[in-house]
Amino acid sequence: MERNKILIVEDDPNLGKILLEYLEAKNYNVSLAIDGEDGFKKFLENQEWDVVLLDVMMPKKDGFSLARDIRKVNQDIPIIFLTAKSQKDNIIKAFNLGADDYLTKPFSIEELIARIKAIMKRIPKKIDNILTDKFKLSTYQFIHNQNLLIDKQNREYKLTTKENELLKLFCENVNKKVNRNTALIKIWGDDSYYNARSMDVYIAKLRKYLKSDPKIEIKTIHGHGFKLLILD
């Protein structure tokens, strides 16, 4: 059985080590980051986390800023704040940023485990990657784990890594808007001007691959992002 993955972002080395060892002893797959920037880097490297535990007061990037960046990439991943700050304003701010829970230090690790389990029961179970790795796009077949797009004449297009990840993101959001900055942060790691220009090139290539089917369109939503449209 696959172990649930937890990312801890905590700058207190003693507390971080205790949480890491205790959660691993409870059969969780755990990674520890020591500041906000390191936390966001580890988050982007995996993006398969089940729960993220965030300290608030950290160097380089505080927990609230980190939560905001994580939410740009993933609106659904559960976030629990762990903090010495118990002021009402901070609690409200945490929940406004999309926090699922908030624990004030000092707290018992048993309570943290109970809260993690409660959150895990509320969120949908992961679908096996095998089931989500193949997509039918009108007359096309897209096989993500092979970087492969196949048209109705059985012509194969081998996609680059960026093309592959972009197309999967669009497939997971068919007929829905994909925010430009969200796509950049998720796939490139930041939303700089140069990465944005690079993304435009890859989207142009995807449009070229898909042009033989008039029922498929990657539409630009000016000022916002893109939408993969598939007509019935």
**Rounded to whole angstroms, how far apart are CA atoms 142 and 172?**
12
The CA-CA-CA angle for residues 60, 63, 66, to 5°, reads 75
Write the DSSP assignment of 101-168 as a string of letters.
EEEESS--HHHHHHHHHHHHHHSPPPPPHHHHSEEEETTEEEEGGGTEEE-TT--EEEPPHHHHHHHH
The mean pLDDT of 143-156, rounded to a whole number, is 89
Superfamily covering domain 5-122 = Response regulator (3.40.50.2300)
Residue of 199, 200, 133 whose CA lies nearest to 168: 133
Please state the domain extents for the chain. Answer: 5-122, 129-230
**Rounded to whole angstroms, how far apart are CA atoms 68 and 55?**
13
Cβ–Cβ under 8 Å, residues 181 and 72: yes
Same fold, 5-122 and 129-230: no
Mind listing the pLDDT tens digit for each residue in 37-73? 999 989 887 767 899 999 988 888 988 899 988 888 7
**Rounded to whole angstroms, how far apart are CA atoms 158 and 82?**
44
- Direct distance between the N- and C-terminal alpha carbons of the chain, in angstroms, rounded to an integer: 39
Cβ–Cβ under 8 Å, residues 63 and 36: yes
Cβ–Cβ under 8 Å, residues 58 and 36: yes
Mind listing the pLDDT tens digit for each residue in 173-193? 889 999 998 889 888 888 888
DSSP lists the bridge partners of residue 148 as 143, 158
Q: Hey, what CATH topology would domain 129-230 get? A: Arc Repressor Mutant, subunit A (1.10.10)
Mind listing the pLDDT tens digit for each residue in 99-137? 888 888 888 989 999 999 988 887 655 444 444 578 889
